[in-house]
Amino acid sequence: MRADQRARRDDFLNRLGARPVVMGILNVTPDSFSDGGRFLAADAAVTHAKQMAAQGCAIVDIGGESTRPGATAVAESEELTRIGGVVAHLAETLPVPVSVDTYKASVAVRAVALGAIMINDVWGLQKDPGMADAVAGCEAALVIMHNRSEKDDTLDVIADLRRFFDRSLALAMRAGIPDRHILLDPGIGFGKTAPQNIAAIARLGELADYGHPIMIGASRKKFFGSLIPAGLERGTEGQLIGTIAVSLAAAAAGASLFRVHDVAEHVAALAIFDALRNRGTHPPAG
């Protein structure tokens, strides 16, 4: 990692915890559940990333493979073809840093070489045996997300999160990834039943003892729309009000970073939340 990337990485990490921070989602895929195909063309992806940065996100997370249930796996070469030019261009021109959403070690290494400062691994270092060493070697910040291949409604979700995070953090420690570079993500909507998703948000504070910033990615998840009372529009993936409600609940429980599609609305809502929480001791971020 170049010196300028290290500076951007450290500046981003230092922002976490002071105020709620928003991550903008950029899916360079044909099949993501919410916006698949919209930003597959490089010019559309770049335009959207710049718009999200102007709306106040602190980092843009670029994904080249859909992680929705039932999505088709993508070869490393195809994933790199989709994201490579976009990562390189945005790392040079965007006023905020770039993260890459991948569980493949080779993609992570190439992404950082192109200018990314963080790797968002939806399998928390446990899918690709080379990922921990890859992240350590390129000095990237890291999101460890909880995931399961199958749902199991008998599990206590927090106990399962802790077992998963303990394994991932042990892998990170053995590889030499500094603790200060690591964020945790409970993986809302990934391998969890509806009650487990609710519990993961409601009991988020039980993960505070890890001492790592918490990221929440509940954006446009269909399940939360189903919680809207009968008689109102409900159950659709585009329910902005559901996502904002979950994000605010997570912020109250201690989450630091919010991975969302709708950046402007979340920046505004979280700024108001933060101002109220701190009783006006500092103005909302511009």
Render 130-185 in DSSP notation, one character per residue.
THHHHHHHHT-EEEEE---SS--TTS-HHHHHHHHHHHHHHHHHHHT--GGGEEEE
Helix (H, G, I), strand (E, B) or coil at 189: coil
pLDDT per position as a tens digit, 181-204 = 999 999 999 999 989 999 999 999
pLDDT reported for residue 70: 60
Helix (H, G, I), strand (E, B) or coil at 16: strand
List CB contacts of 51: < 8 A, sequence separation 6 or more: none
Q: What's the whole-number mean pLDDT along residues 164-176?
A: 98
pLDDT per position as a tens digit, 28-70 = 977 444 444 455 567 888 999 999 999 999 999 999 997 766 6
State which fold the 3-277 domain adopts. TIM Barrel (3.20.20)
pLDDT reported for residue 179: 97
How far apart are alpha carbons 116 and 62 in whole angstroms? 9
Q: Which position among 221, 222, 234, 277 bears the catalytic label? A: 221
Order the strands of the 141-145 sheet from edge to edge: 182-185, 141-145, 118-121, 98-101, 59-63, 21-27, 257-260, 215-216
pLDDT reported for residue 37: 44
How far apart are alpha carbons 119 and 137 in whole angstroms? 12
The tokens describing 283, both together, are 């103005």
In the residue annotation, 221 being an active-site residue is answered as yes
Q: What is the pTM of this model?
A: 0.90
286 band by pLDDT with thresholds 50, 70 and 90 = very low
pLDDT reported for residue 226: 63
pLDDT reported for residue 44: 85
pLDDT reported for residue 47: 92
Contact 239, 221 (CB under 8 A): no
pLDDT reported for residue 280: 54
In the residue annotation, 259 being an active-site residue is answered as yes
Q: Above 70 in pLDDT, residue 75? A: yes
Contact 20, 256 (CB under 8 A): yes
Mean pLDDT score of the chain, rounded to an integer?
A: 89
How far apart are alpha carbons 276 and 161 in whole angstroms? 30
* CA–centroid distance for 91 within its chain: 18
Q: Write the CA distances from 237 to 58, 89, 215, 219, integer angstroms.
A: 24, 30, 20, 9
Q: With DSSP H G I counted as helix, E B as strand and the rest as coil, what are the percentages for the chain, rounded to 5?
A: 45, 15, 40
Q: Which position among 6, 222, 259, 277 bears the catalytic label? A: 259
pLDDT reported for residue 32: 43
* CA–centroid distance for 283 within its chain: 26
pLDDT reported for residue 71: 62
- Exposure string of 52-62, with b = 16+ CB inside 10 Å and e = fewer, is bbebbbbbbbb
Percent of the chain with pLDDT over 90: 73
pLDDT per position as a tens digit, 85-136 = 999 999 999 999 999 999 999 999 999 999 999 999 999 999 999 999 999 9
